[in-house]
Amino acid sequence: MEVKIPDAFVSNQDIDDDLMVEYEGEIIKVGTFEFDHTTNIVTLIFDETIKNKDIEVGYFGFEMSFSSEFFEDNVRQKIEFDDVVEKEFDIIAEPEKMPASAISKMGQPDSEINPSSIVWTVDVFNLDQDTRSGEFTDILPEGLALVAGSVKLISLDIGIKGDITPVTGGTVDVADAS
């Protein structure tokens, strides 16, 4: 039997070890497992000990590291185990460099002298949870007005090195901005 370990995990060594299970209150060896670090495949090799035994659950374990390449573009990743259990885990890695603050605001006038408009960019970083709703309130300086239909919400990803990129297809026109 073979189990593919997701590419999010890496190891620099092959592993050969015993496959142990609990049976009638005792831990017994029922075979071996081999891990090939070049393919990320674990091969389970059962021996005769397992025959005629009612064993429903067994496990094997060994230490691996997360691949930094897996988190290069986005520290939020879903890791799927494509096996009979079909488990998936949501993992959030710690970026090497975080933005200076959770909220930043920057204005870019259309000209340096006598500008007629300013494009405001507000970045909000929240790695702790997936933000699906919220409210943003800002007081515009005197003499400025919001242009109807000009507000856009752009989802951002932060990579493991702290690089920030817009999510493809992650732009939403906000119609109810006032």
Query: What pLDDT score was predicted for residue 175?
Result: 61
Cα–Cα nearest to 143, from 116, 175, 104, 110: 116
Q: Kindly report, residue by residue over 50-87, the tens digit of the pLDDT.
A: 888 887 777 778 889 988 888 888 888 888 887 666 78
Q: Could you tell me the pLDDT band of residue 128, with boundaries at 50, 70 and 90?
A: low
Please name which of 51, 49, 43, 42 lies closest in space to residue 20, comparing C-alpha atoms: 49
pLDDT at position 99 over 80:
no
Domain residue limits at 117: 103-173
Sign of CA dihedral 22, 27, 30, 31: positive
Q: Is residue 115 part of a domain?
A: yes
User: Does residue 153 sit within a domain?
Assistant: yes
Q: Are residues 107 and 164 in the same domain?
A: yes
> Residues 115, 166: one domain?
yes
Of 20, 43, 66, the residue at which a domain comes to its end is 66
Give residue 26's pLDDT: 86
Residues 54 and 112 in one domain: no
Task: Give domain status of residue 71, yes or no.
Answer: no
For residues 163 and 113, membership in a common domain is answered with: yes
- Give the Cα separation of 21 and 33 in Å (integer): 13
Of the pLDDT bands very low, low, confident and very high (cuts 50, 70, 90), residue 103 is confident
Close Cβ partners of 83 (under 8 Å, ≥ 6 residues apart): 3, 4
Report if pTM > 0.75.
Answer: no
In a domain, 121, yes or no: yes
Number of structural domains the chain divides into: 2
Q: Is the pLDDT of residue 178 over 60?
A: no
Give the pLDDT confidence score for residue 11 in this predicted structure.
93
Do 118 and 108 meet the contact criterion of CB atoms below 8 Å apart? yes
Which helix (H) or strand (E) segment is 167 a member of? strand 164-173
pLDDT at 171: 74
Check pLDDT > 90 for residue 169: no
Is residue 97 a part of any domain in this protein? no
| The predicted structure's pLDDT at residue 111 | 94
Average pLDDT, the chain: 83
Whether residues 167 and 122 fall in one domain: yes
Looking at 17, 44, 66, the residue that finishes a domain is: 66
pLDDT at 92: 83
pLDDT one-digit tens code per residue, 4-53: 899 899 999 999 999 988 888 888 899 999 999 999 999 999 998 888 88
Tokens of 56: 């429903």
- Whether 176 has a pLDDT exceeding 70, the answer reads no
- Residue 142's Cβ-count burial label (10 Å; 0-12, 13-18, 19+) is exposed
Give the single-character DSSP code of 159: -
Q: Domain for residue 150, yes or no?
A: yes
- Does some domain include residue 178? no
> Does 129 reside within a domain?
yes
CA distance 131 to 33: 42
